[in-house]
Structure 1
Amino acid sequence: MNDKRIMDIELLRGIAVLGVVFHHLQGNLFPGGLAWLGSIAAYGQFWWGVDLFFAISGFVIARSLIPQLRACTSAAQFWQRTRDFWIRRAFRLLPSAWLWLLLMLLASLFLNRSGAFGSLHANLWATVAGLLQFANLRFADSFFHYEYGASFVYWSLSLEEQFYLLLPLLVLLCRKYLAWVLLALVVVQLVSLRSVLLMFIRTDAMALGVLLALWTARASYRHWEPKWLGWHPGLGLLLLILLGLGLGWLATDKFNITHYRVGALAVLCALLVWIASYDRDYLLPRGPLKSLLAWVGSRSYGIYLIHVPVFLLVREAWFRLAPLGTTGLNEQPLLALACALGLLLLLSELNYRVIELPLRNRGVELVRRLGTSRSPVPSTGVTSC
């Protein structure tokens, strides 16, 4: 087991974040909505990208963290490695998250002549929820009741942090029964009637990702490798398209009254992660398209944080700069998209190079220094989570 990045997983990250960005065009970049976006939404929605992120996250975190924790020979060693995991994760995620929370709060105060960023009161409470990692609970409480604020996408980040705060404790308490406990967690959510609260504390996709990571240590994982997808380069792409269409169809409003669709989305997303986990180019042959999507995947965290504030900033800029008598953004969708996507790519690349990568390395270095200050412990060959 190692921490080498899997290109097929990066591919899925790219697909996931593009789906979320597309889903948020309606109502954020185009507040009045566009007819063609509404037509697409009637047949397929793309918010399932969040569940794909959850499944990827569970797999990537667990494949490095759980072998480390299970290799521990004492309680002190276990908590040292848990602390190291939390430190690396904090340095990787929190600086960017806090930066964009602050920028959205400032925008609601100083760059909000159009009202695009919402009220200062809502954004202030949204910032507190994002900082203290209870954004998912506040989002559930606000749903159809009151304004959340511009940083509503932080609900998924808070849910992940809650899950990974508890995962080491599950490993410690459940030991050899961990897989059964996670499986029970998935089954309960699959058959439960999803209230608004349960929609924002859903952990089934993450649990399935962890189960997949546990499975990779068994011989049956290699036995069940879908080698048939390698028989023809178009088979994997066809499967990817069909699964994407199926996920989009399940995510449409016509399934709101059903209680199984979110669990079904989690299972299908985990299926994609399973295929990608072999890193054999089963889903898409190597080439320019895959390289581009993998690049998007490597910047997906920044894109996820930045896309909504960029959409709102473009609306504000249009409100301030467009000549009197000109049409709104809804009447200039191609120009609006070009401006928003160009700014999004620029800011996400800057965020990756200036914030994400340096501070991720800083966290790894801090863990290394902490390691040299204590007695050596057996290594699992994994350096980061």
Structure 2
Amino acid sequence: MGAPEYFPAFDWLRLGLALTVALFHAGAVTDENIGNFAVQVFFALSGWLIGGILLDSDASALPRFYFNRAARIWAPYFFAVALVFGMSLMSEPADAHWFEYLFYDVTFTHNWFISPRIEEINADLPLRGAGIIFWSLSVEEQFYLFAPLMILFARWGRMPTMWAALAVFAIVLETFYGSIALGVLAAVLRRRFGDWHLKGMAPALFAAVFLLCVFLYARFPEEYLRIAPFAAVSAVLLLARAGKKSRIGAFAGGVSYPLYLNQWIGVFFAREIALDFPDHQLIVTVLLSVILNLAIASLLYLAIDAQVRKRRNEWFTPARGRAAAMIAYGLIILGGVGGLLIALMRL
């Protein structure tokens, strides 16, 4: 598996998306779908980038793929999970719900067993739902595990029609997977037709699709989940131009992941400080949360993400890659079976 292409604009896109989610939780954005749309763009990005990596790979590269995904995702993620659940113990003792929600987050099944019940259990989540964004990491992990099986081992795994059908199915059912499937579809088309998304009127077409989606959402907000995936993949394709990596851009892109995972920290402290400024509470909350979250995310990136990336290649062995895959699949299976049993006990 060779080094994947680099798309410089994606670094700044990631940072902007993570900040959008943080601003939503800080109260600067009142439309909850704006925060969700940032996540949909993240999903389309994953479909385009990870789908592209898999399309250029064969089965022999899977240990490296699984190891890279585990190294990239797990250390920052499990730190964030430990922080949320650990800090929650300072205000209330662990109960059965605490262990149940921890189980779903550790096994990457949050979106299966917490998200469908979110309105019912939101007030019961640790730290008043500080880890609510973990659902998206479950979706990402599930994609990392199932996409290789489809692309590398299924006869139809590299067919545009299959990914188009999968995208339509996911979007019609309003699942979380529509944006990812469209991202993979775009990557499949690129392997067949080259940089089709940059040729001729294609950029203008994607801009028009994005604006059309904005118009449709304004008119039919109840159809958001069916509109968002098309806007998300259009945004990604407009920025999908290969180029050289810059140190500043790479840092901005790297900071986006810990910022996304831990944005509740800056928001929490900003709200506490803003209580001393009742006449400008929202403005103070928003400004301080951005400053604090960027500072915290930068420190976490340097302490965790950057260290893992620096040593990832020397840590890798095929055996460790296979072990990472077995652990990942095992967690998903454990979470799925355990979640179903818990749901049956609740009946």
Instruction: Quickly name the TM-score band, shorter chain normalised.
Output: 0.7 to 0.9
Aligned to 1:23: 24
- What is the one-letter code of the residue matched to 2:6? R
- TM score, norm. by length of structure 1: 0.69
Deviation (angstroms), 1:278: 2.6
Partners of 1:104 and 1:309 within 8 A in 2: no
Instruction: Give, in whole Å, the separation in 2 of the partners of 1:49 and 1:253.
Output: 20
- TM score, norm. by length of structure 2: 0.76
**Pick from 166, 180, 193: which aligns with 1:185?**
166
**Pick from 37, 46, 70: which aligns with 1:90?**
70
- What is the one-letter code of the residue matched to 2:17? A
Partners of 2:110 and 2:138 within 8 A in 1: yes
Are positions 1:204 and 2:170 aligned together?
Answer: no
Aligned to 2:194: 221
- What is the one-letter code of the residue matched to 2:67? I
**Structure 1 residues 172 and 3, CA gap change in structure 2 (3 angstroms):** closer
Partners of 2:196 and 2:202 within 8 A in 1: no
- 1:256-267 equivalences under 5 Å are 256=222, 258=223, 261-267=224-230
Partners of 2:267 and 2:289 within 8 A in 1: yes
Partners of 2:207 and 2:234 within 8 A in 1: no
Q: Which has the higher helix share?
A: 2
Partners of 1:100 and 1:305 within 8 A in 2: yes
Deviation (angstroms), 1:93: 1.0
How many residues were matched structurally? Answer: 312
Instruction: Give, in whole Å, the separation in 1 of the partners of 2:68 and 2:247.
Output: 27
**Pick from 115, 132, 136: which aligns with 2:111?**
136
- What is the one-letter code of the residue matched to 1:352? Y
Rg larger for: 1
**Structure 1 residues 222 and 100, CA gap change in structure 2 (3 angstroms):** closer
Instruction: Give, in whole Å, the separation in 1 of the partners of 2:182 and 2:8.
Output: 20
What percentage of residue pairs aligned between the two structures are identical? 22
Partners of 2:44 and 2:183 within 8 A in 1: yes
Deviation (angstroms), 1:153: 0.3
Q: CA RMSD in A?
A: 3.6
**Pick from 192, 217, 241: which aligns with 1:278?**
241
Gaps of 5+ in 1: 27-33, 70-77, 113-117, 282-289, 372-385
Instruction: Give, in whole Å, the separation in 1 of the partners of 2:34 and 2:217.
Output: 5
Aligned to 2:264: 308
Partners of 2:270 and 2:286 within 8 A in 1: no
Partners of 1:62 and 1:210 within 8 A in 2: yes
Are positions 1:169 and 2:149 aligned together?
Answer: yes
Aligned to 1:53: 42
Deviation (angstroms), 1:331: 4.9
**Pick from 32, 38, 61: which aligns with 1:81?**
61
- What is the one-letter code of the residue matched to 1:55? A
Instruction: Give, in whole Å, the separation in 1 of the partners of 2:132 and 2:113.
Output: 9
Report SS of the residue matched to 1:297. helix
Deviation (angstroms), 1:207: 1.2
Instruction: Give, in whole Å, the separation in 2 of the partners of 1:20 and 1:103.
Output: 19
Instruction: Give, in whole Å, the separation in 2 of the partners of 1:166 and 1:252.
Output: 34
Are positions 1:66 and 2:32 aligned together?
Answer: no
Are positions 1:155 and 2:104 aligned together?
Answer: no
Aligned to 1:285: none
Aligned to 1:74: none
Deviation (angstroms), 1:146: 1.3
**Structure 1 residues 206 and 81, CA gap change in structure 2 (3 angstroms):** same
Instruction: Give, in whole Å, the separation in 2 of the partners of 1:264 and 1:119.
Output: 42
- 1:287-302 equivalences under 5 Å are 296-302=252-258
